[in-house]
Amino acid sequence: MKHRILFAAMVALALSVMGAGPAVAAPAKAKCAGAAKTKACKPAPASLAKKKASSSKKSVKVARAGRNAARLTARGKRVLAGRLAAARRQAARAHAAEEPLTLRLDGFGQPLLGSSAFYVVNQDTGEVLLQRGAHRVMPIASITKLMTAIVVLESRSSLNEVLSITENDIDHLKGTGSRLGLGTRLTREEMLQLALMSSENRAASALARNYPGGRAAFVEAMNVQARLLGMNETRFYDSTGLTPRNVSTPHDLSRMVIAAARYPLIREFTTTIERYVHVNGQVKLFRNTNGLVKSPDWNIGVSKTGYISEAGRCLVMQAWMGGQPLSIVLLDSNGRNMRVVDAQRVRLWLEERPELLAGARRSPQG
């Protein structure tokens, strides 16, 4: 019997070294060696040990495969959910594009808009065509960047000077991201275009930080420009619009849009559809945040969108209709695409009333 026990122990040890036996086999046999000499204490045949080892390995493989499958399934579900959500958004946009625009009027014959405040004025004649809450003071989000551009251009700083994105340009207020990573080096002109076209907050921050006298001097210059333009209910506290302390009114913003239209670079940059830019060794595509700039139904001279939760969705434009330049301000719309829908409703409403634009006609600025 002792020889059998010794033989079984040697077999178990060999199987363990070869990786075929379970790690718990040896303790079990050691316990049996000191037990009474009974039939229950007889060692298992080598074939049975191999079967158990094989079964154990299969169990481990099955368990590992199960865990991997679970991870893959969870990842697949997330990917599938993302794709389905994107497909639903695309279908909704396509449906909205195909669906005829409905124009509902209020009791005064004016279009019902989803923006809580708006102002539409003929730039040439000064005639107010539509308004609601014209002097209501509200956060203006990235509409701010039009004044940022005005101050940059009025400073006469070199547009070819290379500026860098640093830690000081990271948004710690709202936690927004950016496609301009730390260390990105672009010219002042490129920073200006990305701030206007794609509403890049880090670009707007870098522009203010590299102003003579720094950010404080830049913000002061913004407020001085506002006073010069007669924007008496407007206050600026930063160059990006991320702070809700940047406030204005639809009436004041209309003045800013008209002033911005006098700068060829602002007209060009705010209406550029897209641009490829070299960022840290990579070529990245930046697009305009206002999809209307690529619509053949619109002739837009100046455009800027804005959004923070306190301001809602905002849109300002200088647009030509019936040969007339109009300043359009739409603030705090109640849906992601509502500001665009409101702009379309304004255009449709004016097209149905050509007498409102029957004044002296002239061509858009070149």
Q: What DSSP element (H or E) covers 119? A: strand 115-122
pLDDT digits (tens, 9 = 90+) for 191-243: 999 999 999 999 999 999 999 999 999 999 999 999 999 999 999 999 999 99
Nearest alpha carbon to residue 174 among 147, 151, 142 = 142
Q: Which tokens sit at 197?
A: 């076209």
Q: Please state, in angstroms and rounded to a whole number, the distance separating the CA atoms of residues 131 and 330.
A: 10
pTM, entire model:
0.73
Domain boundaries in the chain? 2-66, 100-357
Per residue in 36-46, is it b (16+ CB within 10 Å) or e — as a string?
eeeeeeebbee
> Which CATH code fits 100-357?
3.40.710.10
Catalytic residue among 142, 178, 198, 254: 142
Q: Please state, in angstroms and rounded to a whole number, the distance separating the CA atoms of residues 341 and 80.
A: 30
Do the Cβ atoms of 241 and 145 come closer than 8 Å? Answer: yes
Tens of each residue's pLDDT in the chain, 366 residues: 444 554 555 545 444 444 444 444 444 444 444 444 444 445 555 555 555 556 666 565 556 666 665 555 666 666 566 666 655 555 544 444 445 678 999 988 899 999 999 999 999 999 999 999 999 999 999 999 999 999 999 999 999 999 999 999 999 999 999 999 999 999 999 999 999 999 999 999 999 999 999 999 999 999 999 999 999 999 999 999 999 999 999 999 999 999 999 999 999 999 999 999 999 999 999 999 999 999 999 999 999 999 999 999 999 999 999 999 999 999 999 888 999 999 999 999 999 999 988 765 555 543
Catalytic residue among 115, 178, 198, 199: 199
DSSP string for residues in 258-321: HHHTT-HHHHHHHH--EEEEEETTEEEEEE-S-GGGG-TT--EEEEEEEEETTTEEEEEEEEEE
**Helix, strand, or coil (residue 153):** helix
Nearest alpha carbon to residue 178 among 93, 294, 277, 265 = 277
Catalytic residue among 145, 248, 303, 333: 145
198 is catalytic: no
pLDDT digits (tens, 9 = 90+) for 107-153: 888 999 999 999 999 999 999 999 999 999 999 999 999 999 999 99
199 is catalytic: yes
